[in-house]
């Protein structure tokens, strides 16, 4: 069903600026979803999927999938289920004997279409377990500061415009530099301290139009459309040893699978972008998800006349997402994800002169092209073990030229090319009902060719301009640098109420030539079925960025930065979709890579950075979180 109002008159006279602004607001704010196959309102839809155990990946037979006060079904011997239901939006409860039940909120069903819903349940040894929304489900590996978001949560979070980055930015513990940016500043950290995975692939940057090369700010929008999400698990600190190389947070994104029953498609639009996705079955054993999306902000600004008035430049993005799934056997499944991202930003002399911040007043053109590709083979062994082997390749090319307005004076320029190739093995196993272990390791190879030019900061005040040194040109040709890591952790439920998760991680960073150990520990005590006390501590490492290394030759001697986390909290589940959480935290930073704000004898000559920074970020948070319900 199409829900949109189109106002089209591309030859509007200049005197009708107000009408153009109304058109712009309408174009940005409206959203719609339209299936390629249209059916009558009486046609029923279908929710299909599989129920598996979280640790081992084994299918759960006999699981009950039910709509509140409505229809229900059970999973078969392979964990598969099919629920026929009237079109609408529903909350589904999934439960099975010996497992903690959860509720999947806001599951949308359209007539004569399949909605794919795969569910993971966690083994429980407690006699009293509360049914709770999935976003509040217990995670024994991540006792503190975590939340799980599904596709509908991302689409419908107020004020986000369907942008996943702004949804995460609205969570407790997260803030942004300003309303313009949706960068993730987590508990006093910077936008560079956040780790992102997409389908097990490490991703250097999750944003479009990042300012990380021109300051400490992040990006303006997420690189993924909400429609391709399956779920996103976000941790604001105290995360387990499976995640490394960043000091503040982790974001683990799973792309959705296409349905295997029929070809179907969706057209979507949100705040600033429009596109579509297509589900294509590949026989009974596989499927292909394809999505394409383009931003229309540049078109809207032209129509509205805003760009000609010099308020903002011309941003353009284009992205493609492909995900292939194929089951070799019931115990082995291959997932292949290939993503391409293109962005372009231009700013004229007239637009530059109207910008408030002097260090952003440039005539400029910035472009970026990125590739993210990876394949994961998931295998189950026996009744208790799940192993995942992932191979990946990523590459990026960012360039830009920045001129002082109405001159040919080049202030900054860059040509940055980097790539990473890697392979890793991860396994989880339930040795007993109250003991689960996880272990893994990997090797990855970094290459880079960076060129940077920086002019002096004579045209700016010392505190606003990031470069207080003489003009300089630098090139970093990074030959293949090999890094490796390994980790192990165990989750031991000592009693039905108390669990503890110790872990250890070992990293060998090829860029800094360091071998470092990072111990971590988390614990959870369920005082009642609704109230829990949580705690986590650990050491987190982050090597300097390739961009910083490229700025001066001496920067290549920089070492890894360190943060030590201490987090304690109380959770109170008021009801299945409503939670109160209090958390106190402290992060101790050491060996931070910093740049002097004031000219010094050495810095004025060469612009070197130093591992001389240290500090503490601490505070407490009280949040009341409500899951969206149907």
pLDDT digits (tens, 9 = 90+) for 254-275: 999 998 888 999 898 876 788 9
Kindly report the length of the chain.
Answer: 630
Split at pLDDT 50, 70, 90, the class of 333 is very high
Task: Tell which wins on pLDDT, 577 or 398.
Answer: 398
92 and 173 part of one domain:
no
21 by DSSP, 3-state: which? helix
In this structure, how many other beta carbons lie within 10 angstroms of the beta carbon of residue 521?
Answer: 17
To the nearest 10°, the Cα dihedral for 158, 164, 169, 171? 70
Closest CA to 68 of 131, 113, 7, 145: 131
Alpha-carbon gap, residue 333 to 317, rounded angstroms: 33
- Residue at 598 is within a domain: yes
- Residue at 59 is within a domain: yes
- Residue at 22 is within a domain: no
91 and 209 part of one domain:
no
Closest CA to 563 of 595, 503, 518: 518
Which secondary structure element, helix H or strand E, spans residue 335, and what is its range?
Answer: strand 332-347
Residue 9 corresponds to which tokens in the numbers above?
A: 């008159």
179 and 110 part of one domain:
no
300 and 401 part of one domain:
yes
Last residue of a domain, one of 123, 138, 163: 123
Split at pLDDT 50, 70, 90, the class of 364 is confident
- Considering the chain, what percentage of its residues have pLDDT values greater than 90? 39
Contact 234, 206 (CB under 8 A): no
Q: What does the pLDDT look like over 434-459, one tens digit per residue?
A: 899 999 999 999 999 998 887 776 55
66 and 205 part of one domain:
no
- Residue at 129 is within a domain: no
- Residue at 51 is within a domain: yes
Which residue's structure tokens are 């006279």? 13
**CATH number of the domain encompassing residue 347:** 2.40.170.20
Burial degree of 14 (CB within 10 A; 0-12, 13-18, 19+): exposed
Which residue's structure tokens are 């110790």? 502
**CATH number of the domain encompassing residue 46:** 2.60.40.1120
50 and 159 part of one domain:
no
445 by DSSP, 3-state: which? strand
Q: What does the pLDDT look like over 17-45, one tens digit per residue?
A: 433 443 444 444 443 334 444 444 458 88
Q: What number is the average pLDDT over the span 138-153?
A: 80
Closest CA to 225 of 160, 316, 319: 319
Of 463-472, 493-502, 578-587, the range with the lowest mean pLDDT is 463-472
Task: Tell which wins on pLDDT, 279 or 143.
Answer: 279
Q: Which residues is 194 bridged to in the sheet?
A: 249
Closest CA to 525 of 127, 138, 95: 138
Q: How many domains does the chain have?
A: 2
- Residue at 314 is within a domain: yes
173 and 312 part of one domain:
yes
* % helix, strand, coil for the chain, step of 5: 10, 55, 35
pLDDT, residue 219, reads 72
Long-range contacts made by residues 17-21, C-beta under 8 angstroms, separation at least 24?
17/304, 17/305, 20/303, 20/304, 20/305, 21/304, 21/305, 21/306
Our measurement of the distance from residue 554's CA atom to the centroid of its chain's CA atoms, rounded to an integer in Å, reads 33
H helix runs in 310-430, sequence order: 349-352
308 by DSSP, 3-state: which? helix
383 and 518 part of one domain:
yes
Phi, psi at 335, each rounded to 5°: -125, 130
Alpha-carbon gap, residue 4 to 308, rounded angstroms: 27
- Residue at 12 is within a domain: no
48 and 179 part of one domain:
no
Q: What does the pLDDT look like over 372-426, one tens digit per residue?
A: 999 999 998 888 889 999 999 999 999 999 888 888 888 888 899 999 999 999 9
Cα 28 to Cα 35, 56, 154, 416: the distances in Å are 21, 44, 17, 32
- Cα-based angle 218, 557, 504 (whole degrees, multiple of 5): 70
331 and 382 part of one domain:
yes
Q: What does the pLDDT look like over 588-624, one tens digit per residue?
A: 999 999 876 655 555 445 668 889 999 999 999 998 8
Which secondary structure element, helix H or strand E, spans residue 302, and what is its range?
Answer: helix 297-304
Cα 601 to Cα 469, 556, 583, 596: the distances in Å are 10, 20, 44, 11
pLDDT at 10 over 60: no
Identify how many contiguous H helices and E strands the chain contains and give both numbers: 7, 36
What rounded mean pLDDT belongs to the chain? 82
pLDDT, residue 133, reads 66
Closest CA to 194 of 168, 214, 170: 168
Which secondary structure element, helix H or strand E, spans residue 151, and what is its range?
Answer: helix 151-156
Residue 501 corresponds to which tokens in the numbers above?
A: 């998760």
Domain housing 545: 147-626
Closest CA to 94 of 105, 104, 86: 104
- Cα-based angle 104, 151, 97 (whole degrees, multiple of 5): 25
537 and 621 part of one domain:
yes
Of 98-112, 137-151, 301-315, the range with the lowest mean pLDDT is 301-315
Alpha-carbon gap, residue 361 to 206, rounded angstroms: 26
- Residue at 228 is within a domain: yes
Q: What number is the average pLDDT over the span 538-564?
A: 91
Q: Which residues is 281 bridged to in the sheet?
A: 287
Split at pLDDT 50, 70, 90, the class of 182 is low
To the nearest 10°, the Cα dihedral for 226, 232, 235, 240? -150
Alpha-carbon dihedral sign for residues 233, 235, 240, 241: positive
In this structure, how many other beta carbons lie within 10 angstroms of the beta carbon of residue 168?
Answer: 25
326 and 427 part of one domain:
yes
Cα 604 to Cα 414, 458, 466, 599: the distances in Å are 21, 12, 12, 5
Alpha-carbon gap, residue 475 to 419, rounded angstroms: 16
């Amino acid at each position: 069903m199409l829900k949109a109002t189109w106002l089209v008159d591309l030859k509007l006279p200049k005197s009708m600026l107000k009408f153009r602004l109304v058109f712009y607001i309408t174009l940005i704010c409206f959203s719609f979803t339209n299936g390629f196959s249209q059916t009558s309102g009486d046609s029923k839809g279908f929710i299909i999927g599989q129920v598996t155990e979280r640790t081992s990946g084994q299918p759960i037979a006999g699981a009950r999938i039910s709509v509140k006060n409505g229809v229900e079904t059970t999973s078969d011997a392979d964990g598969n289920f099919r629920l026929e239901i009237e079109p609408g939006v529903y909350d589904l409860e999934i439960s099975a004997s010996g497992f903690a039940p959860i509720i999947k909120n806001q599951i949308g069903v359209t007539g004569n279409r399949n909605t794919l819903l795969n569910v993971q349940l966690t083994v429980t040894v407690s006699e009293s377990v509360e049914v709770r929304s999935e976003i509040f489900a217990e995670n024994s590996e991540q006792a503190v500061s975590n939340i799980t978001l599904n596709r509908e949560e991302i689409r419908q979070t107020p004020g986000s415009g369907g942008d996943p980055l702004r949804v995460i930015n609205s969570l407790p513990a997260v803030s942004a530099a300003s309303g313009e940016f949706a960068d993730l500043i987590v508990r006093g950290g910077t936008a560079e301290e956040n780790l992102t995975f997409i389908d097990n692939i490490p991703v250097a940057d999750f944003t479009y139009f990042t300012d990380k090369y021109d300051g400490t700010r992040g990006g303006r929008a997420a690189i993924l459309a909400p429609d391709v999400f399956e779920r996103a698990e976000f941790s604001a600190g105290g995360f387990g040893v499976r995640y490394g190389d960043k000091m503040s947070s982790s974001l683990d994104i799973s792309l959705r699978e296409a349905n295997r029953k029929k070809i179907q498609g969706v057209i979507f639009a949100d705040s600033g972008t429009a596109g579509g996705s297509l589900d294509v079955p590949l026989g009974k054993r596989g499927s292909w998800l394809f999505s394409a999306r383009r931003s229309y902000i540049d078109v809207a600004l032209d129509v509205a006349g805003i760009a000609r008035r010099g308020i903002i430049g011309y941003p353009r993005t284009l992205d493609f997402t492909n995900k292939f799934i194929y089951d070799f056997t019931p115990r082995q499944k291959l997932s292949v994800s290939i993503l391409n991202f293109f962005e372009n930003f231009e700013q004229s002399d007239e637009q530059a002169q109207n910008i408030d911040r002097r260090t952003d007043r440039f005539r400029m053109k910035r472009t970026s092209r990125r590739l993210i590709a990876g394949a994961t083979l998931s295998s189950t062994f026996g009744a208790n073990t799940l192993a995942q082997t992932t191979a990946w390749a990523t590459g990026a090319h960012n360039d830009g030229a920045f001129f002082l307005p109405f001159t040919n004076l080049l202030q900054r320029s860059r040509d940055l090319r980097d790539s990473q190739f890697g392979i890793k093995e991860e396994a989880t196993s339930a040795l007993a009902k109250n003991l689960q272990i996880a272990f893994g390791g990997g090797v990855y190879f970094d290459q880079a060719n960076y060129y940077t030019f920086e002019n002096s900061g004579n045209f700016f005040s010392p505190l606003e301009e990031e470069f207080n040194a003489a003009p300089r040109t630098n090139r970093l040709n990074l030959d293949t640098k090999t890094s490796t890591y390994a980790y192990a952790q165990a989750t031991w439920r000592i009693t039905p109420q108390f669990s503890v998760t110790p872990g250890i991680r070992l990293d060998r960073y090829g860029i800094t030539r360091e071998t470092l150990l990072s111990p971590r520990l988390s614990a959870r005590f369920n005082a009642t079925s609704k109230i829990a006390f949580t705690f986590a501590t650990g050491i987190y490492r982050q090597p300097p960025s390739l961009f910083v290394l490229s700025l001066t030759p001496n920067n290549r001697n920089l070492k890894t930065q360190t943060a030590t986390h201490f987090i304690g909290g109380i959770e109170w589940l008021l009801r299945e979709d409503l939670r109160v959480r209090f958390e106190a935290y402290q992060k101790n930073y050491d060996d931070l890579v910093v740049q002097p704000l004031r000219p010094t004898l050495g810095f004025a000559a060469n612009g070197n950075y130093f591992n001389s920074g240290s500090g503490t970020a601490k505070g407490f948070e009280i949040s009341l979180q409500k899951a969206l319900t149907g």
